[in-house]
Amino acid sequence: MVTIKSEREIEKMRKAGKAAAECLTEMMKLVKAGVTPLEIDRACHEWTVSRGYIPAPLNYHGFPKSICISVNDVVCHGIPDKRAFKEGDIVNLDVTPIVEGFHGDTNATVCVGKVKPEVRKLVDATLVCLWEGIRQVKPGATLGDIGYAIQKYAEGAGYSVVLEYCGHGIGRGFHEDPSVSHVGRPGQGMKLREGMTFTIEPMINLGKRHVYVEDDDWTVRTKDGSVSAQFEHTVLVTPDGVEVLTLRKGETPVFPA
């Protein structure tokens, strides 16, 4: 069931979103060659608990760490390990602090030093996909409008959209209704209503869309070994449009040139 947030709940979501944005900003600063995902996991855990927040990923259905870190061909749900980042890697950091009982969920893909031009273009295009989806959000629009905008841009640029993993409603629960697909048709699917909060988080592959889950039951990789990028924001449907609850300080929308 989709929950429509009250004014009090929306204020809680704003607090959680602000915390998520601040956490992600600090973790992004740590990504450089020679640093390990485990080091960032420790930093994320300390950042979160020192403020009285709870890291939602930790022990969520058995996930063992406080942050998801997905490198290169890992699409999502990467478990932090001790393999150091290298020049040319791309690294997705996905954080979700729980603040006063509400979840703030956001992620971003960071380039380690100089990456191949085609990989840089993928990362840039994935960020555009996120914002193309966000700008569809308003009362009366549909989930299909969001998915279509993302799919049209991604496939038009020659990339593929992962189908198995979606955005989701969020609030007191980490994953609530509705599921927010990153493909779709205009005018189809659930209509958006004021007070809905959900994530948009397109996963875009340089190669084909197909993925598989490793034996750890978490790590999702591209089947063809191509790199994958992702960006995520938590959004609120407002009376006349959208509010991005996890917007980082100084961050501005990125749309096609």
Q: What is the chain's mean pLDDT, rounded?
A: 98
Q: What are the tens digits of pLDDT across the range 105-133?
A: 999 999 999 999 999 999 999 999 999 99
What's this model's pTM, rounded to 2 decimal places? 0.97
Q: Give the 3-state secondary structure of residue 217.
A: coil
* Residue 17 confidence (pLDDT) above 80: yes
Q: What are the tens digits of pLDDT across the range 140-185?
A: 999 999 999 999 999 999 999 999 999 999 999 999 999 999 999 9
7-244 CATH, one of 3.40.630.30, 3.90.180.10, 3.30.2310.20, 3.90.230.10: 3.90.230.10
**CA angle at residue 102 from 6 to 92, to 5 degrees?**
125
Two structure tokens written together for 5: 């947030």
Q: By C-alpha distance, which of 14, 9, 97 is closest to 49? A: 97
CB atoms within 10 A of CB 94: 23
CA-CA distance, 65 to 80, in Å (whole number)? 7
The alpha-helical segments, DSSP class H, found in the chain are 7-28, 37-50, 117-134, 143-156
